[in-house]
Chains A and B, each alone.
Chain A
Amino acid sequence: MTGEPEYLLEALHVAKVFGTLRANDDVTLKVKPGEIHALLGENGAGKSTLVKMIYGALQPTSGEFRWLGKPVHIPNPAAARKLGIGMVFQHFSLFEALTVAENIALAMPGDFDLAALSERISRVSKDYGLPLEPNAVVADLSVGERQRIEIVRCLLQEPRLLIMDEPTAVLTPQEADQLFRTLARLAREGCAVLYISHRLEEVKRICHNATILRHGKVVANVDPTLETAASLARLMVGGDIHIVKSARKHKIGDVRLRLDHLNLPPDGPFSVGLKDISLEVRAGEIIAIAGVAGNGQSELFDALSGERELARADMLLIDGTPSGKSGINERRDRGAAFVPEERLGHGAVPSFSLSDNVVLTRHSTDETLVKSGVVQKSGATEVSGRVSTSFDVRKAKPDPEARSLSGGNLQKFVIGRELDRKPGILVVNQPTWGVDAGASATIRQAIIDLARDGSAVLVISQDLDEIFEIADRIAVISRGELSEAHPASQMSAEKIGLLMAGAHEVKEARHAHIA
């Protein structure tokens, strides 16, 4: 025996083929014990495919994995957990109707003893600074707390390798700091972390090593502390990223969208109510609403778009007209346009062609689309063609089904469809969620251009970089309450983070500091 092998996990020349797509092509990845290893790449670069294979959720087409120097076959997640591989998913694999302890029990092998497990959960979660109440039902918890469940679930199994898929995407800056401290401690204890993220600054801050994927291939293996965010981005994209130009000097005009003490009761036990929200958006202005997911963003969007009716018409004024009780099309007729968060299924009908999807949101505002109740196919095709050209929507056919487009292309299309109308008011939820850097830049630029031409724009976003890039003023939503909108120049990530957590958690944090 020559002692511990150098590498904990090795993936050697691994490939995974889906149909004609080579999601992973000759990928080699080596992770040492106790290191935080970043896995970087754009959407679709093959990061998720690779980690799913490591976690046993997918099987490689060719290549081999080695664990502590010995070849292993990982047929399923249970086998991965047995080796000591834990994974925290980007989209949580939690059961909403079950309690924290029950959720964790489902991932634990061996005896089933909820009382003993609850006690262990309390102890381990406190120990690592991730407090959890074992008997709480998941549906009642915030996204940050849900992630803690996933992490504690892995920690209880004493993992040797922890895989984290974009863990900070759903956290406030303060919650992210706590996570980094936990990860650093795990690494000191000898646990390796495979860390997937889009956020290059945090990769530079916490990771010891980085493997970069592009189009399913490894393009580089670097020490991120010696790189700059720009050089990492260049490796990911394979070129320079277009930088958004914001002409901040445009004129601010009259109030176009006004929310006046807007209240909306919660829709069910798992949803958030809106409490007394007041906000004015002026012509030429972009206001961004920051916040952690699940704090009332989708409810606010539904209230603005008319998907849920308000108690009084004058809670919402569009260019001075009370519109709180108006339908979606009436609001559109008054010059407003809405782009929801979920592009496929909410923003577009997956099985409809792009031109049919154009008709769906614009039939009441655009005479060229419907004449005496008959859909004008030529008008719709013309609009869809125009949108595709100006937003560079890449597609295989002239008028394909919405679902055949990639996420970024469809997002460009659903935003372009509304912008093409030159709406006086635009409300958009998560404009660049899950969209790669190139498409994001195009979309942000288009939103800025719209505001410069005199429209009022309200952007709901969880991406602070995006918010600072485009917003004139920033407000923060937390548990259904909206903070005052402050000029972007007076806001910092820390300040937004405190507002995101809300008064309640600030108190809690202070207690923790004292203790």
Chain B
Amino acid sequence: MIAKARKPLLQWLLCMLVWLAGGGAFGQLAIEERSFADAEQKARYNDLIADLRCPKCLNSNLAGSDAPIAADLRNEIHDQIMAGRSDAEILDYLVERYGEFVLYDPPLHPGTALLWFGPPVLLLLGVVIVRRMLAATGPGAAPAVLTPAEQQRLQDLLKQQSEP
């Protein structure tokens, strides 16, 4: 949405109007018929419009937006598929015009390394920590973890509760 907060109210309202005119109209979506040469083309088209972001909308893909710009881009993608261009060519065409912002599937490069490598690294780190915790114990560790005092206290509490 265009709404920028530090602008005066009137301008904010105007921006809201731009957004409405530009079609953030969420809840009303693009239901349209398309013809393709074969099922593979149809699948490619559906995948592309599902994974590309509408540049004008708050947060929806090309498939889920009725904004005029989303309709234009769907037309463009459809035409390019029919003209025999590959997915990579179509994505390049859109990124050249709208930037990586339109890609819901961010490509891996130094700027997105944290995004893609963060979770596996974190998982590995967790596994290492768990292993170290286990190494500190070994399989033959003491059977009870509660200290005698803690055991006693828990017993007392439980006994107290079960007695009316």
Q: Are A and B part of the same complex?
A: no
